Chain A
Amino acid sequence: MRILTNVNIDWLRWRWHTLALSWIVILAGVGLVVARGLPLGIDFSGGTIVVLKFEQPVTEEGVRRAVEDLPGEEVVQTYGPAEDHQILVRLAELVTEEGASLEQGALAIGAAIDASGLGKYEIISTEIVGPVIGRDLQRKGIYATVAALLGIMTYIAFRFRLSFGVGAMVASLHDVLITLSFLTFFGYELSLNVVAAILALVGYGVNDQIVIFDRVRENLRTMRRDSLDKVINLSVNQTLPRTVITAGTTAVAVLSLYLFGGVVLEGFAFAMLVGVITSTYSTVFIASAIAVFLSQRGRTRTRAAEPATGNDAKNRKAGRRARAS
């Protein structure tokens, strides 16, 4: 069985359209964040989450009434499948001063539910994050993402050429932003798990790019008279089946995580799913376009000045190692 063989699509022709599309999505995401604020999970914002499992069915409305007199803003939502009678209650940071007792919020929730007459319940999980930890994690999350992006860019620049490294980094950054936008559209919070998913995506997204760059390099050896546009288009077309299939298998695995992995991992799985699809899109449209853009001038200059040296010598050396996919 074969799919997408012998396609001949001029991908680079669409680069401006796709670039515009990406910008629209990202700007819409940014707009929503500006309008509503970045939905930080308590890992980053600090606060208290208590998940209660009631013996009797309860409504979100009932629980919300029970806790609405607590200070700060409360969030009440059903947790997991409805037949489990599980409700999540979230309180914003009650104490900004360190030293005040951290568990105040959790105790207040317990007391309010006790007083409400909603029946017996069991607390199945509590998360209390103080402001110190929240700030710490925010900082570390940003550092780790930036460091991962730079690390991968350096690696690709070292293995291929700088313009490919920059292309890969811009494409990965694009994936991160699009994924964040979709998380915002669908109301997911930025939690530790989601950041983990985004970091994993940074690594994953590069895979497809490496496959295409490898093919570009291989084709450059045999198509020296052709423009880089043409070489890249051909490479993208040649590798298209595997790009689609690898994304497909990963997406299938992640989809099963989204469907069956339980409520704790829902945000994680959603971020992965969006990211896997986005990274395929950005590999085809963004990474190659940027690589072309950055290579253009360098390439023509090399040609005019010193034909058949420099890059070509490098390419012949690479050729002896017989690589590419």
Chain B
Amino acid sequence: MNKNLQWKLLAVVAVTALAVWSFYPPGQKVKLGLDLQGGVHLVMRVQTDDALRLETETSGERLREALRTEGIDVTDVAPVDVTTFQVTGVPRDRDTEFRRIAQDRVGATFDREPGVEGTYTFRMKPNIAVRTRQDAVTQAIQTIERRVNALGVSEPIVAPQGTSGDQILVQLPGVTDIARAKEIIRSTALLEWKAVEGGPAATREALLQSSGGTLPSSMEIVPGVDDAGTGTTVYYLLRRAPVVSGNQLRNARPTLDEYNMPAVGFTLSQDGGRRFAQYTGANIGRRVAIVLDGRVESAPVIESRIAGDGRIQGTFTQQEVQDLSLILKSGALPASLTYLEERTVGPTLGADSVRAGVIASLAGLSAVALFMLVYYKLAGINAILSVVLNLVILLGFMSYIEAVMTLPGIAGFILTIGMGVDSNVLIFERIKEELKTAKGVRSAVAAGFDRVFLTILDTHIASMISAGFLFQFGTGPIRGFATTLFFGLLSNVFTSVFVSRTLFEIYLSGRREASLSI
């Protein structure tokens, strides 16, 4: 064996060793996709309009508050749509002052357009609207990540998806209680404390009558559970602007109330605690409502000044209290979520698929190997070796880049077997042709490889082009297929040309009067 050949052999062995090292032990290094190990795949849309609406409403409230402290009496401040609110009835003599305050309070985020008779329309600036939407999605992703981590899922995926900019992909491998996981992810967990101005009443109408028939724009009617524990729905008249809200929450934990029922204990941040203390101190004897996701959980009477710690009581089970603490701690979602897609694979089906995939691969490999042995005799061994090595390199590479193995990915392996051997066929057929022109075995082998090399390159590049577009098109499992196909083709160029040729040369180097069994 000459020097050159020794180096080639060394290169082949080194690549093989590297590949085996990358995927060994396969149980740990080869990552299985959801379709093989079971789990849930969710795609949801962040309703970014919610975030805009919230921004518009709070800005309106902020302006109203400022006007009140300055003693400017306007008729109303009311939201028009998600990005606009309107102030009506600004007194003419205080117009300049109004403009100054408006500029000061909301001028940075809203454009002001004057209308007739002291009416002003405030429209959110387009760049602010875009940023608010983006922030809502980013924040939603972070919140969901925290919740999913708290659930104890191993290797979850939470990522933006698609081109519309408001879709989120969540993959939870190995999760069995899917309904609970979905509920935890989806809960907006918008927690607010709001002043109770009326109620509880049995119907909305009864509540409206008590306040004179019309609903002031600073008020809202919110349903809730009757405190008496009868389970019927009652309605409260609440002030829109919250006293404090969930973003001022520092901690939440499961606890028990005075009747030993499960409850959620909370601690407010310093700022939130101060505001809460101020409010409760000034309103002893009145009710404050604890509103979670637009529903009054309880509306206790304020008995004393409450600083930073408190309890949310309601009719909770132990599990609900635990989940609610988890959700509150992870923070509120800036907007609600709607599910667009949900795929669940049970662990049994996943295991079945793995088994079927492995059997099909082995059957495919055996059938192809048998054919090559029969048709190409000893040279067939060469082809089998290079195909097997191709699979080893592919598996090693997939593990190295931490690509996920999916069921279509296994199909990609099987196709790699079938297509990988094609290159060997092309080369062997060419060698046979070259042998007929009787230039000697060595030059026939060399010519065979040389002449077919560009053809093989062309066919592989063409196939890789379509694998590339396939990757662009697909999600999850299909991407697994595209990845295996692409890298299978790439490593096949190496095995079918370089490795196979080295094997031929080693075989021929030991023989003086060489002949070929092909």
Chain B at the A interface: SS class = helix
- Asked whether, in the complex, the Cβ of B356 is within 8 Å of the Cβ of A260, the reply is yes
Q: Pick the residue among B359, B367, B374, B407 that contacts A264 (CB under 8 A).
A: B407
Contacts of B478 in A (CB 8 A): 192-193, 196
- Of A7-15, A23-31, A138-146, which stretch is located at the interface? A138-146
Total contacting residues, chain A, CB less than 8 A: 76
Q: In the bound complex, what is the Cα–Cα distance between A246 and B383 (angstroms)? A: 13
- Asked whether, in the complex, the Cβ of B466 is within 8 Å of the Cβ of A202, the reply is yes
Q: Which of A115-167 contact B (CB under 8 A)?
A: 122-130, 132-133, 136, 140-141, 143-145, 147-148, 151-152, 155-156, 159
- Asked whether, in the complex, the Cβ of A264 is within 8 Å of the Cβ of B353, the reply is yes
Q: Pick the residue among B349, B356, B365, B374 that contacts A261 (CB under 8 A).
A: B356
Q: Pick the residue among B411, B474, B485 that contacts A192 (CB under 8 A).
A: B474
Q: In the bound complex, what is the Cα–Cα distance between A128 and B425 (angstroms)? A: 44
CB-nearest residue of chain A relative to B349? A124
- Asked whether, in the complex, the Cβ of B473 is within 8 Å of the Cβ of A249, the reply is no
Q: Given A122-B348, A260-B356, do A253 and B407 touch, yes or no (CB 8 Å)?
A: no
- Asked whether, in the complex, the Cβ of A257 is within 8 Å of the Cβ of B463, the reply is no
Q: In the bound complex, what is the Cα–Cα distance between A151 and B465 (angstroms)? A: 7
- Asked whether, in the complex, the Cβ of A257 is within 8 Å of the Cβ of B343, the reply is no
Q: In the bound complex, what is the Cα–Cα distance between A199 and B371 (angstroms)? A: 27
Shortest distance between the CB of B355 and any CB in chain A (Å): 8
Q: In the bound complex, what is the Cα–Cα distance between A203 and B425 (angstroms)? A: 18
- Asked whether, in the complex, the Cβ of B473 is within 8 Å of the Cβ of A128, the reply is no
Q: Which of A28-49 contact B (CB under 8 A)?
A: none
Contacts of B454 in A (CB 8 A): 214, 321, 323
A residues contacting B by CB (< 8 A) are 1-2, 51, 53, 80, 98-99, 101-103, 122-130, 132-133, 136, 140-141, 143-145, 147-148, 151-152, 155-156, 159, 192-193, 195-196, 199-200, 202-204, 206-207, 210-211, 214, 241-242, 245-246, 248-257, 259-262, 264-265, 268-269, 272, 321-325
7 contacts between A and B (CB under 8 A): A80-B352, A102-B342, A128-B339, A128-B341, A129-B341, A200-B463, A249-B368
B residues contacting A by CB (< 8 A) are 35, 43, 45, 162, 178, 182, 338-346, 348-349, 352-353, 355-357, 359-361, 363-365, 367-368, 371-372, 374-377, 407-408, 410-411, 414-415, 417-419, 421-422, 425-426, 429-430, 432, 450-455, 458-459, 461-470, 472-475, 477-478, 481-482, 485
Given contacts A129-B343, A256-B363, 12 further A-B contacts (CB under 8 A): A125-B343, A125-B344, A126-B342, A126-B343, A129-B340, A196-B474, A211-B455, A214-B458, A245-B375, A249-B421, A260-B363, A262-B355
Pick the 6 closest A-B CB pairs, nearest first: A262-B356, A253-B418, A203-B466, A144-B473, A203-B463, A250-B418
